[in-house]
Amino acid sequence: MILLFIILFYMIGIRIGTYGIFKKMGVEGPWKAFVPVLCSLEWQKIIDRPNWWTWMTFIPGVNLFYIASQLTDMSSAFRRHSFWEHFVAVVFAPFYFPYIGFSANEKFIGPGGVKLGQPPLPRTAVREWADAIVFAVVAATLIRIFVAEAYMIPTPSMEKTLLVGDFLFVSKFHYGARVPNTPLAMPFVHHTIPVFNCKSYVEWIKLPYKTLPGFEKVKRNDMVVFNFPAGDTVVLEDQGPSYYDLVRSLAYQAHVDYNTARQMMWNDESKHIAARPVDKRENYIKRCVGIPGDKLEVKNGELYINDQPAYVPENLYTPYTIVLKEGAGLPAEVVNNLEMKDISNRFGQMPPNHFVALMTQKNAQALREMGLTKLDTPFYYGAGQLMEPIANIYPNDFSHYRWNVDNFGPITLPKKGSTITLNDSVYPEFDRAIRVYENNTVEKKDGKYYINGKQTDTYTFKMDYYWMMGDNRHDSQDSRYWGFVPEDHIVGKAWFIWMSLNSNSESILDKIRWSRIFTSIHGKWAPSDKKYTE
């Protein structure tokens, strides 16, 4: 309420000052100062700017830069050019512009503080650089918000499709650029200012979820960048695992229930816990394997969508159980050439000569042909097999949902406008979507569900939801662990790789993966068959 009062006071003060300026300038109908679009059009005439600038007031985030620019331009028109005069014009505008508008001592000179027909005032080198930097920052910020943003692949969850060290551009306009939820933020950083390790944004202004029109919708098997849904709460000292996994781990270690562990976490003075708005949650990139309304299931490591086998990426990394022949071994060059990744340590003590490794199907066949192994078959967790003592597989309730990464579901993805019947057998799958993503309070009394205080047997979803999985299925923290991705978390579509660096290469020349530079991501690694995309 206080913030709303400050904003209203700020805008009304500027309007009053503008009324005085319009009268002083002889504008026909100074009352236009109180009519938003008309006021801006008259303002553009006075400072000699194009009329289309007015429409920037309707773009959240951009309009903040626009308003500041307009205020400083009007200040310059009254021969006030210094940095501090412009600072006062922006910060103390409700007082500054009424003074200019109604003071007989303040005279309008001309756009930029120069009389018509006169040469422009000379500017210092510092001012020239400052103007150039401000323009560059504003332009880059607008491009980053509404056109494209650079992103680096930090983890191997998409191997061997997208590699660690790939630098790519993420298109914001394909799906429609999302208006920032927190427009007051430091440019070029995400949620934390480096070195200072403090928040890069303030939440004085919070905007609802809105997007500009896009060219297409998210399709199956698109590679999508999105905000991590379970990243709404973070433990700043340990941001690798999700906050919810940390609580579950604490509950297991302390032999207490989830709510008790949660309270223990919050009472621990050595931990600092923070909440983040949607647009400031960590960015993830995965393949969208399920779209709203899809029925999804994983059976013995195979993904099915609507009861049909799903698209299998060409470079899908698959775990294989490998048994070496007696006395045989795998030479290091074979391991390197076949790009094998040993993950045996995840499964405790292995039998002699047995291990589990990640490989592509093509390289697994090459290994078979070498004759070094007795057996190499795809490995998967059996139906109902608990992967670890902590129930970290969605919906995190192993007593009722005996799912794991290889045998998961079936589960139906919510679609905007679709309705489910609330009962104990399905509610856990949609609990987080209903409570957290769609901001409802849910209670259960005497076997009945109450949403926002009203008893109901059904719920109708307000948003579309997606299912994201990594191509490296056994080394990917994806929807199988934390569930649906709401539409308001979608950042953009992976566009193309502009640089790729191999940090493991010893040769400087080989550090650059030349063959991947300027590779169109969906042109190379997305299916062309419509049955997989629609």
Counting DSSP H helices and E strands in the chain, the numbers are: 13, 25
Report the pLDDT averaged over residues 77-99: 81
Please state whether the peptide bond connecting residue 319 to the residue before it is cis, i.e. omega within 30 degrees of 0.
no
Task: Spell out the domain ranges in the chain.
Answer: 2-122, 302-378
Instruction: Return the percentage of the chain with pLDDT > 90, whole number.
Output: 40
Interval 262-293: pLDDT, tens:
999 999 999 999 999 999 999 999 999 999 99
Place of tokens 């390197």: 336
C-alpha angle 211/216/219, rounded to 5°?
Answer: 110
Give the closest residue to 467 by CA, choosing from 268, 310, 277, 260: 310
CB 441 within 8 A of CB 453: yes
The per-residue pLDDT for 62 is 65
Residue 147 pLDDT greater than 80, yes or no? yes
Place of tokens 């400083």: 72
Beta bridge partner(s), residue 284: 226
Q: At 482, phi and psi to the nearest 5?
A: -130, 5
Residue 509 pLDDT greater than 80, yes or no? no
Q: What is the mean pLDDT of the chain?
A: 86
CB 320 within 8 A of CB 378: yes
Give the closest residue to 360 by CA, choosing from 474, 275, 447, 283: 474
Report the 3 state secondary structure along 300-346: CCEEEECCEECCCCCCCEEEEEEEECCCCCCCHHHHHHCCCEECHHH
The per-residue pLDDT for 229 is 96
Query: Domain 302-378 belongs to what topology?
Result: Alpha-Beta Plaits (3.30.70)
Report the pLDDT averaged over residues 283-305: 95
Place of tokens 């708005």: 277
The per-residue pLDDT for 459 is 96
Report the pLDDT averaged over residues 341-359: 83
pLDDT category at 187 given cuts 50, 70, 90 is confident
Q: Mean pLDDT lowest for which of 20-34, 42-56, 128-142, 294-308?
A: 128-142
Q: Mean pLDDT lowest for which of 150-159, 250-259, 330-339?
A: 330-339
Range among 29-43, 152-166, 186-200, 276-290 with highest mean pLDDT value: 276-290
Residue 25 pLDDT greater than 70, yes or no? yes
Distance from C-alpha of 470 to C-alpha of 95, rounded to nearest angstrom:
55
Report the pLDDT averaged over residues 322-350: 82
Report the pLDDT averaged over residues 340-368: 85
Give the closest residue to 354 by CA, choosing from 336, 331, 330, 335: 330
CB 17 within 8 A of CB 99: yes
The per-residue pLDDT for 491 is 96
pLDDT category at 46 given cuts 50, 70, 90 is confident
Structure tokens at 67: 């308003």
Interval 400-456: pLDDT, tens:
888 999 999 899 999 999 999 999 888 999 999 999 999 999 999 988 999 999 999
pLDDT category at 368 given cuts 50, 70, 90 is confident
The per-residue pLDDT for 124 is 64
Amino acid at 430: F
